[in-house]
Amino acid sequence: MQTYPEIAPKLVIHGGLLDTRKTLTQARHTQEKFHDALAAVVKESFDILCSVGARNAVLYAVRALENEPLFNAGTGSVLQSDGQARMSAGLIDSQTGHFSGVINVQHVKNPIDIAQLLAKEPNSILAGELATRYAQQRNIPYYNPITSARQQEYEQQSMHQTGTVGAVALDSKGVICAGTSTGGIGGEIPGRVSDSPTVAGTYASSVAGVSCTGIGEQIIDHAVATRIVTRVQDGIPLQIAVDKTLLEARVRDYCFGLISLDYTGKVVVGKTQEQEYYQLLYASYDGQRLSVYP
């Protein structure tokens, strides 16, 4: 593995692609809550990045976002059509080159932790009831992630779509790690598989890492994360790789957003839908410069 000792650590996180037309409330104070939550998580996670590396920073960041009911992951996950919360997460870093993921796990607080456990297994992706049983067998405490707000939205058939959460980090050793976690799209067929626990939605190599959010089927069809990283591996700058990928997706009227980071610390974020009411919630930090949207 290459190392880049002159490159300062960098971290970028996201809280999903928000369609403000479908939210229950979009008052100014709600925007401020998103801002404050993202800013706090990215700063805290950066300390982890500097002390114990990219993978631990991504785990910390995604776990913190899963614990924030504002976002659709972990606590606050939206409900599938049968009223159940089924959560998914994916994780990969450039040091191991090994992807691990959990699909439609239930009754856990932090799905990203199950993805981390599976990284140590010969079978690194598990799904459904057996994924839940796997977590129970490893003494992961039972947890109900369904909030009263999500239950109310389900009963009113008005899903508060704040998308997926994710993080991409670069540490001082040049390791890049990407992780993503989601509660799904809400109201979907029970057992539906999202992009988050696949390399289409979560991918990293020694040159770049990507975490996606949006309509998972479209992200999978477009192989977004791997497409971008492969282009960077082929010598295309990250900004151009992202722009080209988004342009191709716009032709097909796809709806997704992404965060990305390359081995130089360059951060690129983007979304396919250019309208103002589509907001990609994200934050980046390098120890000095903090960028947060909204």
- Annotated binding-site members: 192-195, 213-216
Straight-line distance from the first to the last Cα atom of the chain, in angstroms, rounded to the nearest whole number = 36
- Taking residue 15's Cβ as centre, other Cβ atoms within 10 Å add up to 29
b or e along 39-73 (b: 16 or more beta carbons within 10 Å of the residue's beta carbon)? bebbeebbebbeeebbbbbbbbbbbbbbbbbbbbb
d(CA 118, CA 96) in angstroms, rounded, equals 13
**Cis peptide, bond prior to residue 294, ω within 30 of zero:** yes
Q: Are 189 and 81 in contact (CB under 8 A)?
A: yes
Q: Is 75 a catalytic residue?
A: no
Instruction: Report the binding-site residues for substrate.
Output: 192-195, 213-216
* Parallel, antiparallel or unpaired: strands 125-127 and 100-105: parallel
The radius of gyration of the chain's CA atoms, rounded to the nearest angstrom, is 17
Give the per-residue SS3 of 109-142: CCHHHHHHHHCCCCCCEEEHHHHHHHHHHCCCCC
d(CA 213, CA 194) in angstroms, rounded, equals 10
Q: Are 270 and 239 in contact (CB under 8 A)?
A: no
From residue 10, alpha-carbon distances to 56, 60, 211 in Å are 13, 14, 15
Interior CA angle at 241 toward 236 and 243, to 5°? Answer: 140
Give the active site residue among 164, 180, 198, 202: 164
Catalytic positions: 164
